[in-house]
């Protein structure tokens, strides 16, 4: 076998080169993607818009709904009011960012959950802490870690000296 290869090495080399070139050509030819545009816009022409979307009516039309009264709700408001736990509605909104661990994003999140005052946070029990903590997303665990109820208790009472002694300066 080695005599055959040594006698015909030039033929083997040419065959190998041809096989490699044909293989490369087949692979390269199959990977070409040609995109031909027949309606290419010119630089001076403005871009065409989808006129059907521009002329279409808005998807959400305003609808006049009657105010939610007991007659409209079928008495559900009385049932909900009787079974719902009491909600502490603050008279004014406090600056919740004064609580250590609460920044602007977390303050907005708490406000969206109905938490707007120090007295609300100070009155939280374990069940309320669990309920709110489950809705904090990436901020979960901060309530207990930073002891928000205790901080809020000091701030609601206006005891800045006690707050600063326990939690540091504001």
Overall average pLDDT of the 17-34 stretch: 81
Q: Does pLDDT of 17 surpass 90? A: yes
What's the domain range around 101? Answer: 96-167
Q: In whole angstroms, give the CA distance from residue 151 to residue 162.
A: 9
| Better pLDDT: 31 or 26 | 26
Q: Is residue 107 part of a domain?
A: yes
Average pLDDT, the chain: 78
The number of beta carbons lying within 10 Å of the beta carbon of residue 88 is: 16
pLDDT at residue number 59:
61
Report the number of distinct structural domains present in the chain: 2
Q: Is residue 90 part of a domain?
A: no
pLDDT at residue number 120:
93
Nearest to 149 by CA among 130, 166, 127, 124: 124
DSSP secondary structure string for all residues of 73-90: HTTHHHHHHHHSPP----
Q: In whole angstroms, give the CA distance from residue 24 to residue 17.
A: 11
User: What are the Cα distances from residue 85, in Å, to 117, 119, 159?
Assistant: 18, 17, 29
Q: Does pLDDT of 71 surpass 60? A: no
Q: In whole angstroms, give the CA distance from residue 24 to residue 33.
A: 16
Q: Is residue 61 part of a domain?
A: no
Overall average pLDDT of the 144-167 stretch: 91
Q: Does pLDDT of 58 surpass 50? A: yes
pLDDT at residue number 2:
77
Q: Is the dihedral of CA 146, 150, 152, 154 positive or negative?
A: negative
Overall average pLDDT of the 106-132 stretch: 91
Q: Is residue 84 part of a domain?
A: no
Q: Is residue 19 part of a domain?
A: yes
Here the tokens at position 67 are: 């105010």
| Better pLDDT: 114 or 48 | 114
Q: Does pLDDT of 153 surpass 90? A: yes
pLDDT at residue number 90:
46
- pLDDT tier at 46 (50, 70, 90 boundaries)? low
Q: Which helix (H) or strand (E) holds 94?
A: none
Overall average pLDDT of the 134-152 stretch: 91
Here the tokens at position 125 are: 């029990």
Q: Is residue 153 part of a domain?
A: yes
Query: To the nearest whole percent, how much of the chain has pLDDT over 90?
Result: 36
């Amino acid at each position: 076998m080695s005599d055959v290869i040594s006698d015909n090495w030039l033929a083997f080399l040419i065959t190998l080169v041809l096989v490699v070139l044909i293989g490369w050509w087949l692979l390269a030819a199959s990977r070409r993607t040609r995109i031909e545009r027949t309606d290419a816009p010119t630089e001076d022409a403005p871009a065409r818009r989808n006129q059907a979307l521009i002329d279409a009516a808005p998807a959400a039309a305003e609808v006049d709904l009657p105010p939610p009264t007991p007659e409209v709700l079928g008495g559900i408001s009385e049932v909900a009011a009787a079974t719902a736990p009491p909600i502490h509605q603050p008279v004014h909104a406090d600056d919740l960012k004064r609580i250590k661990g609460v920044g602007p994003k977390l303050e907005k999140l708490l406000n969206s959950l109905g938490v707007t005052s120090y007295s609300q946070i100070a009155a939280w029990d374990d069940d309320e802490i669990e309920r709110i903590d489950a809705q904090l997303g990436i901020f979960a665990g901060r309530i207990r870690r930073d002891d928000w109820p205790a901080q809020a208790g000091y701030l609601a009472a206006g005891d800045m000296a006690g707050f600063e002694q326990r939690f540091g300066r504001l």
